[in-house]
Structures are given as C-alpha cells and as structure tokens.
Amino acid sequence: MEEQIKSTHNRSTNKTGIIDCDVHPYPKNKEEIQSYMKQPWRERFNSGGRGHYGNPVHGDRQDAKPPGGGPSGSDPEFLREQHVLKYGIDHCILLPRAFCNLLPDPDFATAVAAAFNDWLADTWLGKYNGDGVFKGSITIAHQDPLAAAAEIRRWAGHPHFVQVMTDSGARAPFGQRQYYPIYEACAEAGLPLAIHPGTDGMGINIQPTPGYPTHYIEWHTCLSLGFQAHLVSFITEGVFERFPGFKVVLVEGGVSWLPALMWRLDAEYKALRYEVPWVKKRPSDYLRDHVRITSQPLERPDNDSHLLQTLEMMDAEHLLMFSSDYPHWDFDSPKLAFPKLPEPLWQRIFKENAKQLYKL
C-alpha cells in the first residue's frame, strides 16, 4: 500500500488549483472506528446512519464504489483516481459523517466524535496523505459544548485539520449561549466551524419544518431552512461581536436563499435593532468577515443569467467556495456545476476564498 500511495503521489496531476470544500471519506467498516473506542462505547457503536430520511434510491454515485470493495469514499487511491487526479484538485477538505449529533447520550456522542477524529488523523490525514492533498475537519458533538471545546483543543495545531464540523441538526439555534464554549475554542484555535446537514429531525434533534416531512425529497429540499435559522441566530444573538475572530462555513445547505434572507433581516433590523443592541451593524455586513458558503447543491435555474445575477447579489466573489459533495448522488462536477464564469470570479470561487479561509 505504501508503494502504491508513493507512486500515485509522484504522478503529474496537472493541478488546476481547485480546492474542493466538501469531500466525504468513509471508514471501510465499523470496526475501523470501533478500534479507536473504549468500552462501553465500542460495543454500542453501530456506524450511525440517518434512519428514516435516507435516500430511497441510492445515497452515492453508482460509479464511486471502489473496485476492491468497500463503501464509496473508503478507498483513498480510488478517490484520487476518480476525483483528485481527474479534475486536478489541489486540496480536498474532508468532512466525515459520524452522525453523532443525533445521539441522546452526550458521553457516547463525544466518544464517537473523538474516535472519528483519531481515525481521520491516522489514515486520511496521516498514512494516506503523503502529498498533503487531504485536509480534515474536527468532528464535535455539540450536545456537550464543554467536551466539544476540549476536543477542538486536543487537535488544534495539527497540520492537516483546518476546521471544526458539526451537523445542522440541533435542539436550539446555534447562536444561543450554551454553544459559546465551542465558538471560543474555534476562535482561540483560528479554526472555522463548518455546519453540515444530516441529522435534522433525527434522534434528539428538532426538525426545521413545522412537522416531519413524508418523503426524503421534501426533507432534502428543506434542509436549507435549518441553515437560515442558524445564520439568523448567529447574527442576532451577537456571536460575531462576542467572538470577532470566529468564522462559520455553511456546507451543503444551498446558496440562492442567502440574498433574500439578508434583505429581510436587514429590513427587520432597521425597525427592531433596539431589541438587539449588541448587533453593531447591518446583519448583512457581518457576512464577509464571518461567513462562507459552499456551492453544492447549487440551485441551477433554466436561465444561466439568473444564476449569475444571484451570485452577484450574494457577494459570491467573497463568500462562495466550490464544493462537489463527492461521492454522494448529487455530486457537482467542477466542470459542470457552474455556467461560464468571468475568470476573476472563477478564481475566487474555486481557489482563493478557500485558500484564504483555510490558510492553504
């Protein structure tokens, strides 16, 4: 395996400079994660999953299964061949799917998060990463913010962990003060917090719609509602004023809703700012300094000019970062996700915004 990895790393990749901000690595089996867990957690771990809101057809690209067997996204060399080398990608930002944020036992959830971090550091960020193409995310269980902060500090300073990650599924909007230890630790370490969908309305978490959807298509379409609620909460609760170095990355929650949401919040702020005196400027003015959003799933209207207008309205030049969501079913190819962009805008979305955020 080491010779195979070395050989692959020495190949010419014709790198394009692209940074893919949402790539999902998976363990080959649950025993891989269990090997990093102590009892009683080891016996209790059953590899997670999303329960009743799973894709009814298939969750991954049908061509993403490694030829040697195992789940999609579990073979680093096949991922390199199919994704990194094919598109000349400089870095993949890895977001493992631990699904620990739906668990009611915060100690168990914290143990699952820690095991995923140990596994990722040893494998994808360690022995599989001779060229440094893989950069990782520190998984946390937000059910116990103090334990989550300790987990962030445990990995702060690791050369290949570039952000912290949690699911959007929660029991309260993320601006509320019980989560402050997490944001304090992120700001202290200089690591952004990535929020990824996946446990909304599952386990102990509240569904962002008025009730539980009937079908996966409804649940999946409405995932952006949780992101909107969390973003409004961050701003109106004054998180960015309290932690001026703190940054948030909204991953896989959609894109086109951002301008309209900010227009509404700015309008509400004009009349209601006396209620939130700690918000020192217009809500939309916090975005460039504190918020980034990834492109997949990119809403693609029939008329490409409408998308280009939306990108301008949302300040995509400074806020948007390319992501593919490899190896999932709704994968966005770097070559097909966008209409033809002006070169300066392409450079910002596909390279520079992520390069600056992650200090790559």
CA atoms of 220 and 11, how far apart (whole Å)? 39
Token pair of 297, please?
A: 């799933």
Print burial letters for 96-128: b (CB count within 10 Å at least 16), e (below 16): bbbbbbbbeebebbbbbbbbbbbbbbebbbeeb
pLDDT score at 23: 98
How many angstroms separate the CA atoms of 287 and 303, rounded?
A: 27
Report the run of H or E that residue 264 belongs to, with start and end. Answer: helix 257-272
What token pair was written down for 184? 């304090």
Q: Check residue 13 and give its pLDDT.
A: 52
Rounded Cα gap, residues 33 and 77, in angstroms: 20
HSE of 347, CA atoms in CB hemisphere, 13 A: 3
Domain extent listing, the chain: 16-48+57-358
Check residue 47 and give its pLDDT. 74
Residue 198 confidence (pLDDT): 85
User: What pLDDT shows up at residue 10?
Assistant: 43
Between CA 274 and CA 276 the distance in angstroms is: 6
The CATH classification number of 16-48+57-358 equals: 3.20.20.140
Question: For residue 49, what pLDDT is reported?
Answer: 67
- Give CA 167 to chain center in angstroms: 8
Task: Give residue-wise pLDDT tens across range 271-326.
Answer: 999 999 999 999 999 999 999 999 999 999 999 999 999 999 999 999 999 999 99
Alpha helices in 75-105 (DSSP H): 76-79, 85-87
Nearest-angstrom CA–CA distance, 179 and 148: 9
DSSP 8-state symbol, 79? H
Is 132 strand, coil or helix?
Answer: coil
Q: Which regions of the chain are under pLDDT 50? A: 1-12
The two tokens of residue 304 are 């490409």
User: Which run of H or of E encompasses 306?
Assistant: helix 304-313
